[in-house]
Structure 1
Amino acid sequence: MQDQVNILVVDDESGIRTTLSAILEEEGYNVVVAEDGYKGIEAAKKTKFKIAFLDLKMPGINGVETFKRIKKISPNTIIFFTTAFFAEDLLKEAVKLGAQAILYKPLDIDLILKVIKEDLTKTNILVVD
């Protein structure tokens, strides 16, 4: 059970938010959803998220700008982008900023669960010389 892991899902499509949050909650994760970047940023101010899924293209504030602001609040949050569109400029910026992965819609739930588990089990080793 992963009940101590908080995951943020930010997407302007209600179907994506509902489906992804239901599946992640069924897996034992605590999930908070937001329908736009601004609400996602506000959620990040209130809750420490281990992982966030951000839609790349949203009205108001896009996923890359949301990423930048969330990283200022919570630098250790692992960010995954989701998108149904190929937006080369946004994709390049997302990779440059350190996005963990870009997942294309329709989302492959098995892949999402796999990448979450892989990232949660990674061990960072500090080497001191």
Structure 2
Amino acid sequence: MKVGLHLKEKILIVDDQFGIRILLTEVLQKEGYQTFQAANGFQAIDIAKQNAPDLVLLDMKIPGMDGIEILKRLKEHDQSIKVIIMTAYGELDMIQEAKDLGALTHFAKPFDIDEIRQAVRQYLPVGSN
């Protein structure tokens, strides 16, 4: 039960590119979300287990554990977690597999930051807690 304290919706940004993580963090914090960042799959899983994010922005092309594997593990941990994927490649099979695994939608890089902002608002309205 939350008494007099509004807890911000939490977003985990998973991307191996530092600049993209910083950009998304700044934009989403201005929107009123609490953000977490992970540079790889292992960090992403740890952060998800510790902080239970409401939404994950997940890059598909990450060295080590790829986006599909990260998505599977996130869903194993919490089936209700919302995931939006990002990919720099037009790999339709990977996008389809991610959607079959429960991803809500996808964005191709370079993405339009306003489109990401709108999608996040659509799936995670500020103050929805």
Q: TM-score range by the shorter chain?
A: 0.7 to 0.9
Shift of 1:88: 3.2
Question: Unpaired segments of 5 or more residues in structure 2?
Answer: 1-5
Give the drift of 1:3. Answer: 5.3
Distance 1:85 1:118 in 2: 24
Mapped to 1, the partners of 2:57 and 2:124 lie a distance apart of 15
Structure 1 unaligned segments of length 5 or more: list them.
Answer: 122-129
Aligned partner letter, 1:116: V
Q: 2:84 aligns to what SS in structure 1? A: strand
Aligned length: 120
Higher-RCO chain (CA-CA 8 Å, sequence separation at least 6): 2
The CA deviation string for residues 75-114 of structure 1, in whole angstroms up to 9 with x for no partner, is 2111000011122332221121121011011121111111
Alignment of 1:1-129 (within 5 A): 4-121=8-125
CA RMSD of aligned residues (A): 1.4
Q: What is the letter of the counterpart of residue 92 of structure 2?
A: E
Deviation by residue 1:11-55 (Cα, 9 ceiling, x = unmatched): 001110011011101111000000011110110110111100010
Give aligned-pair identity as a percent: 36
- Could you say which residue in structure 2 is the equivalent of 1:127? none
Q: Please, what TM-score do these two structures have when normalized by structure 1?
A: 0.87
TM-score calculated relative to the size of structure 2? 0.87
> For the Cα contact (< 8 Å) 1:11–1:55, is it kept in 2?
yes
Question: Would you say the 8 A contact 2:55–2:124 is kept in 1?
Answer: no
| 2-structure distance, mates of 1:13, 1:120 | 24
19-28 vs 111-120, greater mean Cα deviation: 111-120
